[in-house]
Amino acid sequence: MLVYPLWMGDVPAVLKGFLEQVFRPGFAMEERGRRMPRRLLKGRSARLVVTMGMPAPAYRWLFGAHSVKSLKRSLLGLAGIGPVRTSLIGMVEHSAAVRQRWLARLEALGQSAR
């Protein structure tokens, strides 16, 4: 599970830097010259949880959820991770009751992934 806040419409820079270091050749992929790299994390799945101030449907439909698509295709996909599921949590500065419902939902997702 990878949880991050939508930052200026994308993944926060510090998280990008971390992922760039972790997903180096030899861990996530094996370089094979001019051919596509061998996917070393094949058979694993992931969940992306993205928090944001805007309504989640606006991010998905108006902005195309581009940070999610980018992570799925270029990083996780190239490493062989799939399926990649997403949970978009919008309006995070809403009421405490709404936040509690989201936390309960995420906890249930975590329990079901075991």
Q: What CATH number is associated with residue 101?
A: 3.40.50.360
Domain residues for the domain of 28 are 2-112
CA atoms of 90 and 14, how far apart (whole Å): 21
Give the HSE-up count for residue 108: Cα atoms under 13 Å, Cβ half-sphere.
7
Residue 83 has what pLDDT?
Answer: 95
pLDDT digits (tens, 9 = 90+) for 1-53: 899 999 998 999 999 999 989 888 888 888 888 888 889 999 999 999 999 99
Q: Is the pTM of this model over 0.85?
A: yes
Q: Give the CA angle between residues 15, 113, 110 to the nearest 5°.
A: 60
Domains contained in the chain, number:
1
